[in-house]
Structure 1
Amino acid sequence: MLKAFKKHIVDSFPELLDSHFIIACSGGLDSMVLTDLCHQAQLQFSLAHCNFKLRGEDSDGDENFVREYGDKLGVVVYVTHFDTIGFVNQHKVSIQMAARELRYAWFEQLLVQHTIPYVLTAHHANDNLETFLINLSRGTGIDGLTGIPAKTAILRRPLLPFTRQELESFAQVQKLKWREDASNTDTKYLRNKIRLEIIPKLNELHPTFSDNFNNTIHYLSQTETIASAYLQKLKEELFVEINGRFEISISRLKILNPLSTYLFGLFNAYGFKELENLEALLDGLSGKQLVSSTHVLVKNRDVLLLSLIDKKEKDEQEFLINENLVEINHPLTLKFSVVPERYNNSAKEIFVQKNKLKYPLVIRKWEKGDYFYPLGLNHKKKLSKFFKDEKVDVLTKEEIWLLCSNEQIVWVIGMRADHRFRVENSTEEILKIEMI
């Protein structure tokens, strides 16, 4: 693999041969293999490690491991610590998105501060395939099927041609050590399920599956480049900017054929991916609108108006709770305490078996499609049906918050607890959660 890696650097990343760069090193298998390959190839680099403070002693162990390895190689190790949970609560994003935004912003700062041109990440062929399958399962245009880019302005990903199996074999031969994140083997997460169960089956179907996939990604990427250039030119003609928003002629949209494909290509970047809703909007009444996480699209007579949502004006939607938190006062006041015995649940307080919870807990507003298992019923019920049965009016419904554990509802706060988190074993710790 070392020989193939060196050739790949010469052929595809010659800029790395004479430049000092930074390797993003978590301490896991992938980044440790990348670091060792660059070291054996006699390339000049430093290491950068992010401690997101999400896994307690394990996070600190990862940091110490990378520091010690950097010392062994005689390279500089840059380390930073993040208050990831605080960032999530402040910016209302997921943990994964928060970690991504924090680390890439820090990488850019490092490059400017130390006058270094590139950061290398250890994405490999399996990451490409996993991303492809995730996007395919969720529904996507061609841009979602072209894989992870090998190069951006500051990023380089030289391991994309290599599979996870090749990395593992190399690490075993070189007797490399690395740190394992226990959550990587939990198949309740979609990416892990794809990695551990689906990809091995695909490799069984054809001995050259990985090579065939890499070729397909290459062809799709070329096709996407051509399509994107055409759509960008069309967008420049159709999207007329007026006072900070775009006006798009409906009559000019309707002559495009195939209409649904054009609508997806023009509007999916703004978060509008439901083609039936987009087509219906063209013939809807004036004032009808679609709202994505970032934009609003409104029909106004014979045009569509596209506007960016000001995040500062959006309602706060999600808050995270660490295991050691005793009380939260925003968006509502909740108190958490371990008690020796449980009593009957009420609208204001519930008792749950603590070891059933997965942290961090999430407080969020309800969304269409949410369901839970109402305490005492032990069967699934959509929240929309639950609210209807409870005669909750529309305005009140929008003010209801949910307490969730690992995407499962623990408590429709102020109304009903979930049956799955009830206290079944009195010998386990009992957590009392009360609304004050």
Structure 2
Amino acid sequence: MRLKLKQHISDNFPFLKGKKLLIAISGGVDSVVLTQLLFDLNFDISLAHCNFKLRHQESELDALFVKDFAQKRNISFFSRSFDTEKLAKENKQSIQITARNLRYEWFQKLCSKNNFDFILTAHHADDNLETFLINLTRGSGLDGFTGIPAVHKNIARPLLIFSREEILNFATENAILWREDQSNASLKYIRNKIRHQIVPVLKEINPSLLSTFSKTIENLKESKQVLTDQIKEIQPKVFRPFGMKEKGSFELDIQEITKLSDPKAYLFHLLKPYHFTEFNDIVDLLNAQSGKKVVSKTHQLLKNRTSLLLTKIDQKEAQRIYYLEENVTDISHPISLNLQKDSEKIVKDKNTIYVSKEKLTFPLIIRKWENGDSFYPVGMKGSKKISKYFKDEKYSLLEKEQTWLLCNNDQKLIWIIGKRQDSRFQKSICDENTVRVHLNT
């Protein structure tokens, strides 16, 4: 196994040679064997152990074992304890996800502080198979069926070609001690059920299961690459960047989408980076009326005649109503405004209005427009619905979405911010009661 790993690293992980490596070690047989192998091969290694305090005294004994293992070999050793259960409850996450996040966040901090080049984990071929089967039971896209990556950013997994059996045999033959996690035998975890009940049956059906599975993974990776290349080729035809202010916004050409052999499948891959999940609704959006939209946790997709407008949701703007107290002179959210007394002279500027303080009732309101809103536009007689104003000014759906109104506390509109003032609040001469409201751009 030692020679096989040496050759495997030479062929597939040559970048590890001469680098500072941080091994994630639990005390279990996999990480202990990985450490022993790299120690024997004279790699520059250090160890990092997480004590998640999930097994009480057993967790403490794990930490002591790893410390002793490192000291006997004169290997640098880092250890940290976490109150994992408490943090999981606070973050409303599963213990498994919380532990994983804590582990990798700490590892990355150790790398930054101590100049480690790579983090090594001891995932092996059986782990890969189990992960595949877990994703199969839960449902997954192609990403979930291409296996645990051998390299991802600064994380490397050189044991993926070895089976659990090979690792156990090496440890036994070389009299290597390790800690056994009793929870690995518990069938309350899905991974353990698959490990102890499903995989043995599959190996009975096909004794060469891991080898067959490895070839399947490679085929799926190749298929994924073909798909990735196809999506990259199609994306420029479907996505058109638009808007100077809205960097990262795109207009999706519906005509180009409908030309695709399977619009839903292509939309799944094109929009996956934007966290959409309701792809049936997105397909329905292609034939929906203008104004309909589908929202993800980070973006929205808005139907606009012959296109779909993809824009990022500003979490700070998720709130649609803001209040502006009397003594506040500057705000930055949802937009940047400055209010101050101005008795000099009126300067005509679309980003500035002048109002009489006597007409203002605080707190002022900054909000999005709603159906039925109307105002008295400067330069016109009578009132006008904002929806009609938008139509006359040829506002796009996105421009309507991004428009903010400044209103008096009684909801009378003062200003379509940056666009048009209400004549009821217009002031033509500056005096000591004049308030200047300016939109910072």
**TM interval, short-chain normalised:** 0.5 to 0.7
Q: Which residue of 2 aligns with 1:127?
A: 127
- How far residue 300 of structure 1 moved from its aligned partner, in angstroms, is 4.5
Question: Retained in 1: the 8 A contact 2:237–2:256?
Answer: no
AA aligned to 1:254 is T
5+ residue gaps, structure 2: 320-441
Once the 2 structures are TM-superposed, how far is the Cα of residue 275 of structure 1 from its aligned partner? Answer: 4.3
Residues 217-247 of structure 1 deviation map (CA, whole Å, 9 limit, x = unaligned):
1122122123213313433443345425443
Task: Find the aligned partners of 1:307 and 1:88 in 2 and give their Cα distance.
Answer: 32
Q: Do structure 1's residue 251 and structure 2's residue 255 form an aligned pair?
A: yes
Residue 21 of structure 1 contacts residue 116 of structure 1 at CA under 8 Å; is this kept in 2? Answer: yes
Three-state SS of the structure 2 residue aligned to 1:202 is: helix
What residue is the counterpart of 2:37 in the other structure? Answer: 37
How big is the shift at 1:165? 1.6
In structure 1, what is the equivalent of residue 116 of structure 2? 116
CA deviation string 1:376-414 (max 9, x = no partner):
xxxxxxxxxxxxxxxxxxxxxxxxxxxxxxxxxxxxxxx
Q: Would you say the 8 A contact 1:53–1:59 is kept in 2?
A: yes
Deviation at 1:159, TM superposition (A): 0.4
Instruction: Give secondary structure in 2 for the equivalent of 1:177.
Output: coil
Q: Which residue number in structure 2 is paired with residue 136 of structure 1?
A: 136
Aligned residues, how many? 315
The 1:262/1:172 distance shift into structure 2, 3 A limit, reads: same
Compared with structure 1, are the counterparts of its residues 207 and 282 closer, same or farther at alpha carbon in structure 2 (3 Å cutoff)?
same
The answer as to whether partners of 1:141 and 1:265 remain within 8 angstroms in 2 is no
List structure 1 runs of 4+ shifted beyond 6 angstroms: 310-315
1:283 to 287, 290, 299: 287
Give the match for residue 268 of structure 2: 264
Q: Letter of the aligned partner of 2:25 in structure 1?
A: C
* Higher radius of gyration, 1 or 2: 2
- 1:49, CA displacement in angstroms? 1.0
Q: Taking structure 1 as reference, are residues 255 and 277 closer, same or farther at Cα in structure 2, changes over 3 Å only?
A: same
Counterpart residue number, 2:198:
198
Question: Within 2, Cα distance between the matches of 1:289 and 1:80?
Answer: 47
Q: CA deviation at 1:177?
A: 2.2
CA shift at 1:174, angstroms? 2.1
1:356-375 matches, within 5 Å, as none
TM-score (structure 1 length as normaliser): 0.65
Deviations 1:40-77 (A, max 9, x none): 22222010112223333332222222111111111010
Does 2:100 match 1:100? Answer: yes
Alpha-carbon separation, structure 2, partners of 1:216 and 1:269:
26
Q: Which moved more, 1:120-129 or 1:102-111?
A: 102-111
What is the distance in 1 between the residues matched to 2:202 and 2:298? Answer: 36
What is the SS of the residue equivalent to 1:119? strand
Closer, same or farther in 2 for the Cα pair 1:111/1:142, shift >3 Å? same
Give secondary structure in 1 for the equivalent of 2:58.
Answer: helix
Match runs of 1:301-316 below 5 Å = 301-308=305-312
> 1:111 offset after TM fit, Å?
1.6
Distance 1:285 1:17, change over 3 A: same
Shift of 1:34: 0.9
Tell me how large the CA RMSD over aligned residues is.
2.7
**Superposition pairs for residues 324-363 of structure 1, below 5 Å?**
none
Supply the AA of the counterpart residue of 2:176: L
Q: Any conservation in 2 of the 1:25–1:32 contact (CA below 8 Å)?
A: yes
Residues 301-357 of structure 1 show CA distances to partners (whole Å, capped at 9, x for unaligned) of: 443344556678999xxxxxxxxxxxxxxxxxxxxxxxxxxxxxxxxxxxxxxxxxx
Structure 1 residue 109, shift from structure 2 partner: 1.8
Q: Is the 2:300–2:310 Cα contact (8 Å) retained in structure 1?
A: yes
Q: How much does 1:139 deviate?
A: 2.8
Residue 217 of structure 2 is aligned to residue 217 of structure 1:
yes
With over 3 angstroms needed to count, the CA separation of the structure-2 counterparts of 1:29 and 1:257, relative to structure 1, is same
Q: Compute the TM-score of the two structures, normalised by the length of structure 2.
A: 0.64
Equivalent position amino acid for 2:63 in 1: E
Distance between the aligned counterparts of 1:47 and 1:68, measured in 2?
12
Moved more, 48-57 or 233-242: 233-242
1:239–1:246 contact (8 Å) kept in structure 2: yes
1:16 Cα offset (Å): 2.4
